[in-house]
Amino acid sequence: MKKLLAVVLAAMMVLSLGVVSFAAEVAKKDTVKATYTWYTPDGEIMKVDGVEAKGPLEDVAFDRIDSTTDLVEPDSTVWVSLGSEGYYTNKDLFKVKPDKGDNNAKLISKVSVATSASDKFAVGKRMDGVKIEVKPDYTDNDYKFTPSVKLTAKEDVTINGVKYAEGSYLIVDITFWSGNLGQDADRDYAAGDSGVVLKPAKNDDNEITWEDESNTIATLKFVGDDDGKYFFPKLSTKWEDADYAEYFADQDAYIFNFVASGAGKTAIASTSRATLELYNPYYDEEEDELTVDPENVVIYMVGDDGSINDVTASFKAVETDDGDYVFQTKTRELGVYIIAEKAYTTDAGDVEAPAEDGKAIPDTGIWA
């Protein structure tokens, strides 16, 4: 009976933190390990009827690169559930002291305690949780992270029937690894895919294609050099929060954002300039016609200083052997491109018009 009581009390402590098994695969891979321990105001491990108040936290949410790895995707957020909404995020009840840990702390943007959206955890409702925001990484390295959080009760508080005295504190320790997958460069990707870096085949042909639901939207062809450095291949075609979108508000314009370009991680390890092809978005497949004359299309590239530069002359409109209409150029590094049906307008509300030298628009950091 005493043994049974201990088991029941241990389960109660677990439930007080809202712990629910998330997924068998995740638990098996131990992608994110998290534990909690309650301490008395004197620094002793708290006991409830002889049972130590500590254990694993298994209701976690995170972006994993794929099911074959135990790596958290860079530039993503890890959540560890603490339990019911409103207790641990209540500043009147708890003092929060986050710690990025001793391992690769510079690659963590922030550690905090917050209330998650209902789709984050297995319980299917809003929960308080530890939130760890991981920075982008453009290498093939794996990094270990050991963040933690200390929550100290500012007054006596009862959570799910368990009483915690003023000055008692909860420590949550979290361990996980993050990194990109290293893959051969000669392959296809979906637009928006991340979590990988590509290694070109040395002294051989490489061809990378990016696709959306219905089109091949970009192709990169090159011969790898002796170096074969990894580069980051993510391509985004979304305009969210893009100040520059206002310049193209009166027309259909398309963005091709190789998102690591600002970090200098899209340089191509090739024996000569690579061939980049961006699909012609003004081709109507149903009517089998171009809705905008290629000679009227304007192509811009966003400079390192945030300027919009006309690079139309460096592209040519061609039809590939497969019958696809593309705009083709030679390059040593991928960037941020905008294909427009006409020159952009400066009638965009209060947005400042760029000067003729193309350097009036500041780097807003929006290209991510």
CATH number at 276 reads 2.60.220
| 218 and 331 inside one domain | yes
Residue 99's pLDDT band (cuts 50, 70, 90) = very high
Nearest to 22 by CA among 10, 31, 9, 12: 31
| 175 and 209 inside one domain | no
Residue 192's pLDDT band (cuts 50, 70, 90) = low
Checking if the pLDDT of 347 tops 90, the result is no
Highest mean pLDDT among 83-87, 101-105, 159-163, 225-229: 101-105
Checking if the pLDDT of 335 tops 60, the result is yes
- Contact present, 172 and 79 (Cβ < 8 Å): no
- CA 118 to centroid of chain Cα atoms: 20
Q: What is the pLDDT of residue 361?
A: 35
Q: What is the pLDDT of residue 113?
A: 97
Nearest to 233 by CA among 201, 275, 187, 286: 187
The domain boundary, picked from 179, 214, 236, lies at: 179
d(CA 307, CA 244): 10
Burial (Cβ within 10 Å: 0-12, 13-18, ≥19) of residue 241: exposed
Question: Which tokens go with 347?
Answer: 């009638």
- Contact present, 118 and 126 (Cβ < 8 Å): yes
Q: Is 292 within a domain? A: yes
Residue given tokens 């093939």 in the structure block: 140
Q: Is 167 within a domain? A: yes
Residue given tokens 């694993």 in the structure block: 56
DSSP classification of residue 253: E
Beta strands in 85-136 (DSSP E): 94-99, 108-115, 127-134
| 272 and 152 inside one domain | no
Q: What is the pLDDT of residue 11?
A: 35
Q: What is the pLDDT of residue 190?
A: 64
| 171 and 189 inside one domain | no
Question: Which tokens go with 235?
Answer: 């391509």
Question: Which tokens go with 6?
Answer: 């201990």
| 157 and 185 inside one domain | no
Question: Which tokens go with 326?
Answer: 């593309």
Residue 5's pLDDT band (cuts 50, 70, 90) = very low
Q: Is 350 within a domain? A: no
Checking if the pLDDT of 368 tops 60, the result is no
| 198 and 323 inside one domain | yes
Question: Which tokens go with 82?
Answer: 């603490």
| 110 and 206 inside one domain | no
| 202 and 281 inside one domain | yes
Arithmetic mean of pLDDT over the chain: 81
Give the amino acid at 86.
G
| 166 and 214 inside one domain | no
Residue 189's pLDDT band (cuts 50, 70, 90) = low
Q: Which residue has the higher pLDDT, 202 or 340?
A: 340
List, for residues 234-257, the tens digit of each pLDDT value: 888 888 667 788 888 889 999 998
Checking if the pLDDT of 183 tops 50, the result is yes
List, for residues 274-292, the tens digit of each pLDDT value: 899 999 999 988 888 999 9
In sequence order, the 6+-apart residues with CB closer than 8 A to the CB of 154 are 92, 93, 94, 95, 166
- Which run of H or of E encompasses 11? helix 2-16
Q: What is the pLDDT of residue 53?
A: 93
d(CA 66, CA 317): 37
How many domains is the chain built from? 2
| 118 and 194 inside one domain | no
Q: Is 345 within a domain? A: no
Q: Which residue has the higher pLDDT, 4 or 329?
A: 329
The domain boundary, picked from 124, 159, 179, lies at: 179
DSSP classification of residue 106: G
Q: Which residue has the higher pLDDT, 268 or 41?
A: 41
DSSP classification of residue 271: S
| 205 and 335 inside one domain | yes
Q: Is 57 within a domain? A: yes
| Region for 11 from its dihedrals, namely left if φ exceeds 0, alpha if ψ lies in -120 to 50, beta otherwise | alpha
Of the listed ranges 160-164, 183-187, 302-306, the least confidently predicted one is 183-187
Q: Give me the numbers of helices (H) and strands (E) for the chain, helices first please.
A: 2, 30
Q: Is 293 within a domain? A: yes
Q: Is 346 within a domain? A: no
The domain boundary, picked from 144, 179, 214, lies at: 179
Question: Which tokens go with 283?
Answer: 């081709």
3-class secondary structure, 133: strand
Of the listed ranges 69-78, 125-134, 218-227, 331-340, the least confidently predicted one is 218-227
Question: Which tokens go with 177?
Answer: 């690894």
DSSP 164-232: E-TT-EEEEEEEEEEEPEEEESSSEEETT--SEEEEPPTTSEEEEEEE-SS-EEEEEEEEB-SS---B-
d(CA 132, CA 149): 10
| 157 and 84 inside one domain | yes
| Residue 295 belongs to domain spanning | 181-340
Q: Is 358 within a domain? A: no
Q: What is the pLDDT of residue 186?
A: 64
